[in-house]
C-alpha cells in the first residue's frame, strides 16, 4: 500500500511536544522523518516518571514513533555540513528553536532556501519572530497570556490551565496543516516556502466563539466553570456517586430532561421557558436539577438520559475513556512491534481515519542516535549541551 506521504523526507529539528507531534503525524502517513538531536537528546527523554515497560519516558514516547534518530553536534562544523547536505536532499524541515538561533548556524530558512529552493520549512515559535521573539514558548505561559486561563476554572476560584498542553497540540495540528498546504502548493509551483506557526496565535484561533464574542462586544468573557456561555443547562452536575455532564442544546431536549428528572412543573416556570431565560437563571436551574439527580448514580443517569435523547455522560477518568473508545470499536490503542530488535510499544492511535491509506505504525520511538549509521558515519560525539530555549 502506497501511503499519502510516501517519498516525502522530513528533517525534524524540533523537540518536546508541538514539533514532534506534527512530524509524527507526517510519519504515521508515510513520510520518512529523521529526528535530529543534540548529543544529550530531546529533553523529554529525561522527563520521568511515568515510563513505558522498557523504561522510556511516556512523554517522549507519545510523539516520536515512526521516526529515525541521529545525533548532530552544532558545535561541529563537519556535522553542520553533513546536516545541510541531508536537508538538501529533503522536502521538509521542522524546527522550534527560539527565533534567530538557527541563523547562527546557517540553518535558517533564508540560508537553506538557497540550497534547496523547493524546501518547505516550518518554524514553530511561542510568540512569533518579531517583538515576541524572545518570549519563552511554554504552554503554561501561552495559556496565561493568551486568555485561555481567564475563562477556565470556577467563577469564584483561581484561573486554571487545561489539564494537558493543549496549546502545543493546537500548534502541532496547525503546523501539520501548514506543511501539507505548502507541499500541495509546491506541486503546482515547484517552489517551497516558509510556514510560520506560533503557539500564541494558535491559541487565539482556538478560542473560536469566545474570541469572536470578544471582538463583537469589546468585552472579555468570564469564567463559568463547566457551564456554557450561551446554553443552559450545559455543564456538570453532582449525582449520588459522581459527576455527570449534561448538554441540553434545544427546548425539546430540555423538556425530555425535565420529564426524566420528574420536574415537569418547571416546563411552565417563567424562568426556564427559553434558552436565554435558562441562561439568566442558570444557578437556580442547577440547584433544582442537582437535587433531582441525587437518587441515582451518574452511570444510571447517563443511560437513562441518553435513551431519552438528552446528551449526558459521566466524567470519566482517562483509563475509563480509553476503555469506552475500545467498547465503541474505535481502536484507540495501537501496538508496534519491531521484529529486528524485538522492541514493542503501545500507544494512542492517530485520530485521522483514511479509508484506503490509513496510518501505519512500523517503528517504536527511537533511542538516541539509533540510526546514525544510516545517515552519518559514526563519530565520537562530545556530551556538550546546546542550550537554545526551544518552544515546547
E-only strand ranges, the chain? 9-12, 32-37, 67-71, 92-95, 120-125, 193-198, 234-238, 243-247, 312-314, 333-338, 343-348
Q: Which residues contact 156 (CB under 8 A, 6 or more apart)?
A: none
* Angle (nearest 5°) at CA 26 between 22 and 32: 125
Distance CA 245, CA 256 (A): 16
Determine which helix (DSSP H) or strand (DSSP E) holds 327, and give its type and residue range.
helix 318-327
Question: What letter would DSSP give residue 364?
Answer: P
DSSP track, 164-199: S-HHHHHHHHHHHHHHHHHHHHHHHH---EEEEEEH
Task: Give catalytic status of residue 110 as yes or no.
Answer: no
Helix %, strand %, coil % of the chain (to 5) = 40, 15, 45
Residue 247: strand, helix, or coil: strand
HSE on the CB side for 13, CA within 13 Å? Answer: 30
User: Among 18, 222, 17, 207, which residue's Cα sits nearest to residue 124?
Assistant: 18
**Considering 42, 168, 187, 241, which one is annotated as catalytic?**
168
What is the distance, to the nearest Å, from the Cα of residue 121 to the centroid of all Cα atoms in its chain? 20
Diameter of the chain by CA atoms? 80
List the catalytic residues: 168
Amino acid at each position: 500500500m502506497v501511503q499519502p506521504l510516501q517519498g516525502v523526507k522530513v528533517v525534524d529539528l524540533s523537540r518536546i511536544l508541538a514539533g514532534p507531534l506534527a512530524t509524527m503525524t507526517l510519519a504515521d502517513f508515510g513520510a520518512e522523518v529523521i529526528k535530529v538531536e543534540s548529543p544529550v537528546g530531546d529533553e523529554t527523554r529525561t522527563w520521568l516518571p511515568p515510563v513505558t515497560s522498557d523504561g522510556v519516558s511516556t512523554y517522549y514516547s507519545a510523539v516520536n514513533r515512526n521516526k529515525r534518530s541521529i545525533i548532530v553536534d552544532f558545535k561541529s562544523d563537519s556535522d553542520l555540513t553533513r546536516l545541510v547536505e541531508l536537508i538538501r536532499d529533503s522536502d521538509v524541515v521542522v524546527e522550534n528553536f527560539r527565533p534567530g538561533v538557527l541563523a547562527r548556524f546557517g540553518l535558517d530558512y533564508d540560508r537553506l532556501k538557497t540550497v534547496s529552493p523547493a524546501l518547505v520549512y516550518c518554524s514553530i515559535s511561542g510568540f512569533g519572530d518579531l517583538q515576541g521573539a524572545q518570549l519563552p514558548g511554554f504552554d503554561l505561559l501561552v495559556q496565561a497570556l493568551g486568555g485561555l486561563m481567564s475563562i477556565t476554572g470556577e467563577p469564584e476560584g483561581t484561573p486554571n490551565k487545561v489539564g494537558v498542553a493543549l496549546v502545543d497540540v493546537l500548534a502541532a495540528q496547525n503546523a501539520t496543516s501548514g506543511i501539507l498546504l505548502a507541499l500541495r502548493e509546491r506541486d503546482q509551483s515547484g517552489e517551497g516556502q516558509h510556514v510560520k506557526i506560533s503557539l500564541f496565535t494558535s491559541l487565539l484561533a482556538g478560542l473560536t466563539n469566545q474570541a469572536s464574542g470578544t471582538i463583537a462586544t469589546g468585552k472579555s468573557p468570564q469564567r463559568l466553570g463547566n457551564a456554557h456561555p450561551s446554553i443552559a443547562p450545559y455543564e456538570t452536575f453532582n449525582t449520588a456517586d459522581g459527576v455527570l455532564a449534561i448538554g441540553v442544546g434545544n427546548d425539546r431536549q430540555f423538556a425530555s430532561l425535565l420529564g426524566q428528572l420528574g420536574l415537569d412543573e418547571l416546563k411552565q416556570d417563567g424562568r426556564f421557558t427559553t434558552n436565554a431565560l435558562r441562561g439568566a437563571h442558570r444557578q437556580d436551574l442547577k440547584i433544582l436539577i442537582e437535587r433531582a439527580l441525587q437518587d441515582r448514580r451518574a452511570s444510571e443517569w447517563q443511560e437513562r438520559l441518553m435513551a431519552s435523547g438528552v446528551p449526558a455522560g459521566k466524567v470519566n477518568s482517562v483509563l475509563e475513556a480509553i476503555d469506552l473508545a475500545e467498547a465503541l470499536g474505535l481502536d484507540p490503542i495501537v501496538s508496534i512491534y519491531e521484529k529486528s530488535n524485538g522492541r514493542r510499544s503501545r500507544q494512542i492511535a492517530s485520530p485521522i481515519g483514511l479509508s484506503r491509506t490509513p496510518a501505519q505504525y512500523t517503528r517504536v520511538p527511537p533511542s538516541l542516535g539509533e540510526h546514525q549509521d544510516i545517515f552519518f558515519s559514526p563519530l565520537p560525539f562530545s556530551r556538550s549541551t546546546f542550550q537554545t530555549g526551544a518552544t515546547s
